[in-house]
């Protein structure tokens, strides 16, 4: 009983623990999601605001028709220009005096509407005067835009593009907007004066400048003559608008907003809403826990006790009584409608079925053992029907022969055969059935038997294989087929005749030479098309020649990297061992395949046959 109480407290504690963890995790995720969304919205809003500010600055610059002349002139003559930084439109400013002087010299020209050609036609002194006047009035407009739109930094700068020697390495400030009373200078934190050059940070700033230039170039010739690019770093949002491209330099209108205070407020608001949501969740989860305790934990305790009792006694009647008690009473309606009630009903049924299930397991186990026994017997039969050696006859001295078959499963679909069809004629057979297992082994035995029987009455390999094919096609409802290489060799002359029914290419090694594949046209496998006439090819075996035939399990053996052994690697192994007896060749080939595949299980049988012709004189 104490153990049960501890179990109950353990379940409740685990649920409370999971709920607390869930609330905390949900709160943290909610906080960061809300913060991320709000932060992104602020950046987007600031970006739109920055775009408006940059366009205002570009508009002020475009009021002067010769702005594309002014930009490089300011950049190239920054050291000698005498500009008034904080001029306003009231009388008494230095810029106003300069404007009167320019009007006196050129009464027919308007500063705002001078074209580039008209400016270039002016004397050098008047060009400088025009540049200083335009600079001061544009800067006054920029100062006013900065105060109205509330940005932290508003400036015009120039930097080298990708066409220059130092692309986006540094930027030279041409003008910077300032609030009333701001200190202008060259130090960090001051409002930069004309000609101050600072390095460009690698990464966001340089990439955004490059993006603005690319947009500017893409929009060339359209109504929109500037490219825009936005970047964010830390608590700042930077916005770049490409104003003009002159040679290898790009001129930018830049806007920067400090969103630190907004981000701080976002954190506070997000935290407040997250905590409020967590309180609502805790209240809701307390109600849920109360319901879980009444309609889940208590019934589970009863079911647990019944399961333990049944484990000891196997008393189905007692377990049924306990489950009836769980499903009755004031809370029975709610319990029957949830998973606990379903569990009680299923347990009642389960106790009645366990004995039958145990008996069924015993039956299945017995059948499985019987199945494995049948497979072992079939495997033994298959191994026994494969030939081991030829009768001890005089013709046997004319050759060496060895074959092997390693099934991928307990019963494979590969086979080989060799037998004498006359006193001096040897038949060689190797085949591969299209499947594995007991059915494939039975199909293989039929094919092997048919080949032997027809070889006793026919002397043409093509006719033998054609007859076998017709027999296999009859009643072949399972659709099995078999690839076969079949040859008859006259042991007195070495003359051979072979049929290749969809099988692998044989490899031959002439005495003193190397192994190579025999490329002859293949016919269809046996069992595919009834009435098919097969073609045969002749070949000559001279004393010392070797013949190697195999199934696809040799070249298609795969290793851990899903790489196949391949015919090139097979020929390499054969040529390294061409001077040894056939049984040694097969043994070394198997060792090479095993080393290549390692522990990777193979899904195809590996069958090989090697024939060495010594000549009738031996």
pLDDT at 576 over 90: yes
Contact 390, 419 (CB under 8 A): yes
pLDDT digits (tens, 9 = 90+) for 116-143: 899 999 999 999 999 999 998 888 888 8
- pLDDT value of residue 10: 57
Task: Give the chain's mean pLDDT.
Answer: 83
Q: Map residue 504 onto helix, strand or coil.
A: coil
DSSP alpha helix (H) spans, 411-508: 438-457, 461-473
**Token pair in block for residue 131:** 């540049």
Average pLDDT over residues 350-357: 73
Percent of the chain with pLDDT over 90: 36
pLDDT at 12 over 70: no
More confident residue, 114 or 37: 114
Tell me whether residue 575 is exposed, middle or buried, using C-beta atoms within 10 angstroms of its C-beta: 0 to 12, 13 to 18, 19 or more: middle
pLDDT at 1 over 80: no
496-520 burial code (b ≥16 CB/10 A, e <16): bbbbbbbbbbbbbbeeeeebeeeee
- pLDDT value of residue 377: 66
Confidence grade of residue 58 (pLDDT, cut at 50, 70, 90): confident
- 50-54, 142-146, 251-255: which has the minimum mean pLDDT? 50-54
pLDDT at 69 over 90: yes
A 10 A CB-CB count for 457 gives: 10
Average pLDDT over residues 407-422: 81
- 117-126, 260-269, 535-544: which has the minimum mean pLDDT? 260-269
- pLDDT value of residue 589: 95
pLDDT at 411 over 80: no
pLDDT at 343 over 70: no
- What is the DSSP code (8-state) at residue 408? S
Q: Which among 592, 464, 473, 488 has a CA at the least distance from the CA of 547? A: 488
- pLDDT value of residue 222: 45
More confident residue, 431 or 207: 431
- pLDDT value of residue 2: 44
A 10 A CB-CB count for 92 gives: 7
- pLDDT value of residue 96: 86
Which of 62-66, 195-199, 344-348, 497-501 is most confident?
A: 497-501
Q: How far is CA 388 from CA 260, 384, 418, 424, 606, in A?
A: 90, 9, 9, 19, 17
- pLDDT value of residue 328: 66
- pLDDT value of residue 374: 61
Q: Is the pTM of this model over 0.85?
A: no
Q: Map residue 388 onto helix, strand or coil.
A: coil
Average pLDDT over residues 171-194: 88
pLDDT at 148 over 70: yes
Confidence grade of residue 339 (pLDDT, cut at 50, 70, 90): low
Tell me whether residue 109 is exposed, middle or buried, using C-beta atoms within 10 angstroms of its C-beta: 0 to 12, 13 to 18, 19 or more: middle
pLDDT digits (tens, 9 = 90+) for 248-263: 899 998 888 777 766 7
Q: Which among 485, 492, 438, 493 has a CA at the least distance from the CA of 461? A: 485
Rg (CA), the chain: 47
pLDDT at 280 over 50: yes
**Token pair in block for residue 503:** 């099988």
**Token pair in block for residue 386:** 């494969």
Which of 89-93, 209-213, 435-439, 515-519 is most confident?
A: 515-519
Q: In what order do the strands lie in the sheet with 546-550?
A: 399-406, 606-613, 546-550, 507-509, 515-517
More confident residue, 353 or 520: 520
Query: What's 226-290 look like in SS3?
Result: CEEEEEEECCEEEEEEEEEEECCEEEEEEEEEECHHHHHHHHHHHHHHHHHHHHHHHHHHHHHHH
Contact 267, 34 (CB under 8 A): no
CATH topology of domain 389-613: Phosphatase 2c; domain 1 (3.60.40)
pLDDT digits (tens, 9 = 90+) for 437-493: 778 888 888 999 999 999 999 999 999 999 999 999 998 888 899 999 999 999 999
Average pLDDT over residues 92-121: 88
Percent of the chain with pLDDT over 70: 82
Confidence grade of residue 408 (pLDDT, cut at 50, 70, 90): confident
pLDDT at 35 over 80: no
pLDDT at 230 over 80: no
pLDDT digits (tens, 9 = 90+) for 303-330: 777 777 777 776 777 776 766 666 666 5
Confidence grade of residue 223 (pLDDT, cut at 50, 70, 90): very low
More confident residue, 81 or 352: 81
pLDDT at 53 over 60: yes
């Amino acid at each position: 009983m104490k153990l049960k109480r501890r179990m109950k407290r353990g379940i409740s504690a685990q649920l409370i623990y999971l709920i607390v963890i869930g609330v905390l995790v949900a709160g943290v995720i909610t906080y960061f999601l809300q913060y991320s969304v709000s932060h992104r919205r602020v950046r987007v809003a600031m970006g739109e605001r920055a775009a408006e500010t940059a366009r205002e600055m570009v508009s002020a610059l475009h009021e002067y028709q010769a702005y594309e002349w002014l930009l490089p002139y300011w950049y190239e003559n920054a050291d000698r220009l005498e500009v008034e930084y904080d001029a306003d439109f009231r009388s008494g400013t230095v810029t106003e005096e300069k404007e009167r002087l320019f009007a006196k010299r050129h009464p027919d020209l308007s500063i705002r509407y001078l074209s580039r050609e008209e400016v270039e036609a002016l004397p050098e002194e008047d060009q400088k005067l025009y540049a200083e006047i335009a600079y001061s009035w544009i800067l006054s407009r920029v100062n006013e835009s900065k105060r109205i739109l509330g940005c932290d930094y508003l400036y015009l700068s120039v930097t080298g593009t990708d066409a220059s020697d130092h692309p986006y390495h540094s930027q030279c400030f041409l003008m910077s907007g300032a609030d009333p009373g701001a200190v202008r200078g060259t130090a960090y934190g001051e409002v930069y004066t004309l000609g101050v050059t600072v390095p460009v940070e690698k990464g966001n700033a340089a990439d955004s400048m490059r993006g603005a230039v690319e947009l500017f170039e893409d929009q060339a010739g359209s109504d929109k003559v500037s490219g825009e690019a936005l970047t964010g770093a830390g608590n700042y949002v930077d916005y770049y608008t490409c104003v003009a491209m002159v040679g290898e330099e790009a001129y930018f209108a830049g806007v920067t907003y400090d969103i630190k205070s907004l981000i701080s407020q976002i954190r506070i608001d997000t935290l407040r809403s997250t905590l409020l949501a967590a309180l609502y969740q805790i209240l809701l989860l307390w109600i849920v826990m109360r319901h879980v305790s009444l309609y889940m934990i208590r019934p589970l305790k009863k079911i647990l006790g019944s399961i333990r009792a049944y484990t000891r006694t196997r008393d189905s009647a007692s377990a049924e009584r306990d489950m009836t008690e769980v499903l009755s009473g004031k809370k029975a309606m709610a319990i029957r409608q949830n998973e606990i009630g379903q569990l009680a009903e299923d347990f009642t049924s389960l106790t009645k079925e366990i004995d039958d299930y145990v008996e069924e397991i015993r039956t299945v186990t017995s059948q499985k053992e019987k199945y494995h026994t049948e497979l072992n017997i079939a495997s033994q039969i298959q191994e026994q029907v494969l030939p081991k050696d030829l009768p001890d006859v005089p013709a046997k001295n004319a050759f060496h022969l060895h074959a092997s078959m390693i099934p991928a499963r307990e019963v494979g679909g590969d086979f080989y055969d060799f037998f004498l069809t006359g006193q001096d004629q040897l038949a060689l057979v190797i085949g591969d059935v299209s499947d594995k297992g007991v059915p494939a082994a039975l199909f293989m035995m039929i094919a092997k038997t048919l080949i032997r029987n027809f070889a006793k009455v026919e002397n043409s390999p093509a006719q033998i294989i054609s007859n076998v094919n017709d027999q296999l096609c009859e009643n072949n409802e399972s659709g099995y087929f078999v690839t076969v290489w079949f040859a008859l060799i006259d042991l007195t002359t070495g003359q051979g005749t072979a049929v290749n029914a969809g099988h692998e290419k044989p490899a031959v090694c002439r005495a003193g030479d190397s192994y190579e594949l025999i490329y002859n046209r293949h016919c269809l496998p046996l069992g595919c098309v009834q009435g098919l006439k097969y073609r045969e090819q002749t070949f000559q075996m001279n004393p010392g020649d070797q013949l190697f035939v195999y199934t696809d399990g040799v070249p298609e053996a795969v290793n851990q990297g899903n790489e196949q052994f391949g015919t090139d690697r097979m020929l390499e192994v054969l040529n390294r061992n061409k001077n040894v007896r056939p049984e040694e060749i097969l043994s070394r080939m198997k060792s090479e395949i095993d080393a290549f595949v390692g522990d990777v299980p193979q899904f195809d049988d590996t069958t090989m046959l090697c024939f060495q012709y010594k000549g009738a004189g031996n």
